[in-house]
Amino acid sequence: MLNWHRLGSTAYANQRYDTLVLLEGVVKTPYLDTASPPAPTIGIGFNLEYHLGTVLRAIVGNAHWSQTLENRLQAVIDAGFSSGQNTLLQDRLNAVMREWHNTRDSDVPTTFAFATTAQIKAALATVSTEYEDIVTAKLGDIPDSEERVALFTLAYNSPALIGPKLTAAIQNGNRAEAWYEIRYNSNGSESLGIANRRYVEADTFDLFDDDSPSKAEAMKIGRMYADHRDDILSYEASFDPVSAGVTKGVAGIASILDEYAPAVAKLEAVFDIGPAFSFEELQVASSGNRRLTGDGTAHDDSGNNQDLLIGSVHANRLSGNGGNDGLIGLGGNDALFGGGGSDWLDGGAGNDTLSGGGGNDRYVYSGGNDKLVERPGSGNDFLIMRDAGTLRAANIEHLAIDDALGGLARVFGNDIRTIDLSSGNDRVTLVINNVKARASDVTIDTSGGKDRIAIVDRTDWSDWSDNGDPAKTFTFEHFNGNDRIDLRSFDIDKVVTGTEGTTLSTGLVLMAPDAVLKKGGSVLIENTTGDWVIASIDHAADDTFGPAFSGNITEDSFLI
């Protein structure tokens, strides 16, 4: 069941009355309703064919009620009237009342009409029992609550409105689906007046348990919207909810996107999506709805193209299309396609394929054997590691470690320009198998903690040099004495920190700034770059330097 918005018995009775008055209107004199044939009615839609006795007792009081008087009034009701004969109906009923007043009981009023609000409430107290019993029979012992008020008004309008789908949603604890049934799927005649009424009833029932939705509640709302998206957007295009609120004088009735905005905000926080993103539409996949698409339906417009699409435990296909979208795969082997715009793509568990398309995309690695598909030159893209693992990050410019991963982050990233580590103890291996000519340098912010950054060489040595100078410089920011740069993959033969000699004829050396390597009394290699560099003895005659390392670095900073 649901988390009910409970009311005390008096508050419940008052809200039930006020809501019915808002929805049905209140007329103190008899009139003919719009049914065919029209039914004699009074008060808050009290049908006199069924509730004459209750209404009469409320008007005259139990002490002055008479079965004979009721029978005479019933005869008038049973005579039948045509649409528009309100005056005739009133005149005939008043004639009976006047004759009774003059000949039998002068305390009985001369007109058949409610004199006070208290009389109408008294009649409702009796009439309501029938509809309260309908609610209880269909849904069990629901407490006095705002939800019960909404269900009561539905039953009052027509008991059939509490149908099997609404009943199942409530019994399954699915508030979002119940809200959908009330708001969108209870207007078979497609009447504007009924649409306005249902918007009020859904607002009374409420989409949320409270002001701070849980993750589970937000996910149910997104699943409801995904399952009924086209129907909802089409319905609101025909019956504007904002106009309904104005017509009925009820503040807070809004479009579907505004109604479920708190659910979007909740899931943005749950999945720790960057602050640069602000989503409008929310869709969550289910076992029967595994392919979600953001824009492109007949009901979209340019205003709702920031989509948050969330998968399930199954293999999902999520396509954001236009706009800056958020795609969260969760479980299963998912396929995520951002399309145009700057997108957030998080495959979650499983072996996922993530393709951001154009724009400055954010890829989140949360485990599994994910594949990133990013075209060259298609944006300024980021990879955010939230789990240890190995990932190929072709054409990704930026790498960030959100939190200490508790394991090794191994990234194949020829194009990475910046690496931001967490404040914890990080272990990152950057594998480079293609150093492009004049390739961008790499800035590594170690932040806090005790970090180890390994540079793995999988390329030909000549690629590391650009006309003799380093083709790539690794600049370390906030580097401290606990951090280490692991260069063991280079098989460095010697570290040169000053002016030193060597007998080596081949191999690599790591040279400090201003270091000089001599052989046979002659200068073999002189480091004039101002940074730590790896140099090749084999190419010493060409002053060929490989990767350079800049920052607050000493000999102890390296593992070789």
pLDDT greater than 80 at residue 302: no
pLDDT confidence of 300, banded at 50, 70, 90? low
Mean pLDDT of 4-29: 97
Please list, in sequence order, all residues whose beta carbon lies within 8 angstroms of the beta carbon of residue 102, skipping any fewer than 6 positions away.
none
Q: What is the pLDDT of residues 205-218, one digit of tens each?
A: 999 998 899 999 99
pLDDT for 297 equals 52
Give the count of beta carbons closer than 10 Å to the beta carbon of residue 230.
10
> Is 503 within 8 Å of 471 (Cβ atoms)?
no
Query: Is the preceding peptide bond at 37 cis, omega within 30 degrees of 0?
Result: yes
pLDDT the model gives residue 438: 47
Mean pLDDT of 374-401: 91
The share of the chain scoring above pLDDT 90, in percent, equals 83
Q: Under a CB-based contact definition with an 8 Å cutoff, are residues 339 and 321 in contact? A: yes
Predicted pLDDT at 60:
98
- What's the pLDDT at 439? 65
Across all residues in the chain, what is the average pLDDT? 93
- What is the pLDDT confidence band of residue 299, given thresholds at 50, 70 and 90? low
- Residue 307 phi/psi, 5° resolution? -100, 140
Average pLDDT over residues 285-311: 80
Query: Per the confidence metrics, is the pTM higher than 0.85?
Result: yes
* pLDDT band per the 50, 70, 90 thresholds, residue 375: confident
Q: Could you report the per-residue pLDDT of 328-373, keeping only the tens digit for each?
A: 999 999 999 999 899 999 999 999 999 999 899 999 999 899 999 9
Q: CA-CA distance, 453 to 549, in Å (whole number)?
A: 12
Provide the pLDDT for residue 445.
97
Q: What is the mean pLDDT of residues 54-66?
A: 98
Evaluate if residue 171 carries a pLDDT over 50. Answer: yes
The average pLDDT across 412-427 equals 93
Tell me if 414 sits within 8 A of 394, measured CB to CB. yes
Average pLDDT of span 222-249? 97
Residues 479-487 have a mean pLDDT of: 96
- Residue 5 banded pLDDT, cuts 50, 70, 90: very high
What DSSP letter does each residue of 215-258 carry, written as one string?
HHHHHHHHHHHHHHHHHHHHHHHHS-HHHHHHHHT-TT---HHH
Q: Under a CB-based contact definition with an 8 Å cutoff, are residues 458 and 432 in contact?
A: yes
What's the chain's Rg over C-alpha atoms?
A: 38
pLDDT at 451: 96
Identify which has the larger pLDDT, 66 or 404. 66
User: How far apart are alpha carbons 494 and 534 in whole angstroms?
Assistant: 10
What pLDDT score was predicted for residue 269?
96
Alpha-carbon dihedral angle through residues 479, 484, 485, 488, given to the nearest 10 degrees: 170
